[in-house]
Amino acid sequence: MRVLDSAIFSPLFSDAEISALLTDEAFVGALVEVEAALARAQARVGVIPAATAEQISRVKAADIDIAVLTKETIRSGFPIIALVQQIRRQAGEEAGSYVHWGATTQDIMDSAAVLQMRAASEIFQHDIREIIRRLSEVAQRHRTTVMAGRTHGQQALPITFGLKVASWMAPMLRHVERLDEILPRLLVVQFGGAAGTLAALGNKGLAVSEALADELKLAVPVMSWHAQRDSLVEFAGWLSLVTGSLGKMAQDVILLAQTEVGEAAESSEQGRGGSSTMPQKSNPITSELMLAAARTNASLLSALHHAQIQEHERATHGWQVEWLTLPQMMIITGGALKHALDLAQNLQVDEAVMRVNMVRANDIVLAEAAVFALANWMPRLKAEEMVKKACGIAISEARPLIDVVKETVAVPDGTVDWRALADPANYLGEAEKIIDRVLERANELLSK
């Protein structure tokens, strides 16, 4: 079974728009677009006749026989030889002789791949912005919803659910910035001829490269990058960063949705995440898929780093490793973003259970608050020692921590406001201001 090609399983791990960009038909369309753009570029600088370029540009991708490409690709290892033959036949004998003039297979395939990555990046940008928009609404709605913050899996200090959501948003804001920084390096034309010298075009090679870039609305690199794959690896790294951040969000939701915790659920939809044998189950399947995407992309990224090591002017196998991994990472990222948007839209939050869980743990999240309250009139180390003992009593006797501290630590009347100290909402530090800072950044990004 091939999961990403499966009618049953592929919807779990992919996004229809991204998948459509990476079909055979879409890739052939991009290849034909590059060949046509090359002919127009060469006509612009006087390498081939203008009428010839017009004739080549009339060739339609829909008329390319993919079955023939498949057969010939098995023989040569690449689809370009068979593609050029078909374009030549459709363009006519005279114009056909100018198809693929001075280019090499990798020029066409790399440039076509860049066009696909550009289209995918536009979808990624849109989806991330929508996720940020939805998470902003959740963070605002729960800016004062008090819950236990957890470190090393244990209750630590009071936080708000809005702060947790802001922690999911902040990396996504950076990912938008990162993609904006990456794209100028990624969206460049590939055109160097057989060995990167453009020798077949005499003194017009660089002019053709610039004209081709203009035709395709891409940037011009300082030189062809046949064996320089760092920009592709950088993009793959970005894909893994995105799914990794979504995986962190998913992992949090999975933990919050545990039966013993029950502070959040993915959706209120009946039957979602159901079990074939256990009626009570509502498994966090959306988060599970996001987490699987993160771990898979992290693994695939390693292959791209290996593929970056390419010998001499054009390599032997690293390019093929890219074919096996980069499109897969793009599809998986699209699927993870789709699921993240669904999660952000449908997340269910149980505020009452959040408070109950702190009470059930005897409000030990207030231990640090108690230390600093006592440290106002006794040495801090002494306060820590006394509160630590009080924590042991509170846990063993199932009593609220602040009640135990009040009973076991003798302090002058009026020194500590015990009622205020016992309320976790009074020990949230700068949580709301931090949320506001993230929301402000989000608003700035969304307004552009």
First to last CA, the chain: 43
Residue of 263, 426, 265 whose CA lies nearest to 356:
263
Residue range(s) occupied by CATH 1.10.40 in the chain: 354-430
Rg (CA), the chain: 29
Which residue in the block uniquely carries the two structure tokens 């076991």? 408
Mean pLDDT score across all residues of the chain: 93
Question: What percent of the chain stands above pLDDT 90?
Answer: 84
383-407 tens-digit pLDDT: 899 999 999 999 999 999 999 999 9
Contact partners, residue 312, CB within 8 Å, separation at least 6: 227
176-227 tens-digit pLDDT: 999 999 999 999 999 999 999 999 999 999 999 999 999 999 999 999 999 9
Are the CB atoms for 145 and 415 separated by under 8 Å? no
Domain 354-430: give its CATH code.
1.10.40
Q: Print burial letters for 238-275: b (CB count within 10 Å at least 16), e (below 16).
A: bbbbbbbbbbbbbbbbbebbeeebebbbbbeeeeebee
Residue range(s) occupied by CATH 1.20.200.10 in the chain: 120-135+160-188+227-353+431-448
pLDDT at 114: 98
C-beta atoms surrounding 374 within 10 Å: 23
* pLDDT band, residue 273 (cuts 50/70/90): low
Integer Cα distance of 66 and 221 in angstroms: 31
Residue range(s) occupied by CATH 1.10.275.10 in the chain: 15-103+190-224
Residue 268 has pLDDT above 70, yes or no: no
Q: Is 129 an active-site residue?
A: no
Contact partners, residue 445, CB within 8 Å, separation at least 6: 129, 132, 173, 176
Overall average pLDDT of the 224-233 stretch: 95
* pLDDT band, residue 410 (cuts 50/70/90): confident
Overall average pLDDT of the 100-128 stretch: 97
Residue of 86, 346, 72, 46 whose CA lies nearest to 207:
46
Residue of 203, 205, 132 whose CA lies nearest to 169:
132
Q: Is 314 an active-site residue?
A: yes
Q: Print burial letters for 147-176: b (CB count within 10 Å at least 16), e (below 16).
A: bbbbeeeebebbbbbbbbbbbbbbbbbebb
Q: Name the active-site residue from 275, 299, 360, 380.
A: 275
Range name among 4-18, 84-98, 181-195 with the lowest pLDDT average: 4-18
Residue of 90, 87, 84 whose CA lies nearest to 105:
84
C-beta atoms surrounding 103 within 10 Å: 26
Say which CATH topology domain 120-135+160-188+227-353+431-448 has: Fumarase C; Chain A, domain 2 (1.20.200)
Integer Cα distance of 386 and 96 in angstroms: 88
Integer Cα distance of 142 and 231 in angstroms: 40
Residue 275 has pLDDT above 50, yes or no: no
Overall average pLDDT of the 126-142 stretch: 97
Q: Name the active-site residue from 88, 229, 314, 441.
A: 314
Integer Cα distance of 334 and 337 in angstroms: 5
pTM: 0.93
Highest mean pLDDT pick, 3-12, 89-98, 281-290, 436-445: 436-445
pLDDT at 276: 45
Class of domain 15-103+190-224: mainly alpha
DSSP 239-255: HHHHHHHHHHHHHHHHH
Handedness of CA 95, 101, 105, 109 (dihedral sign): negative
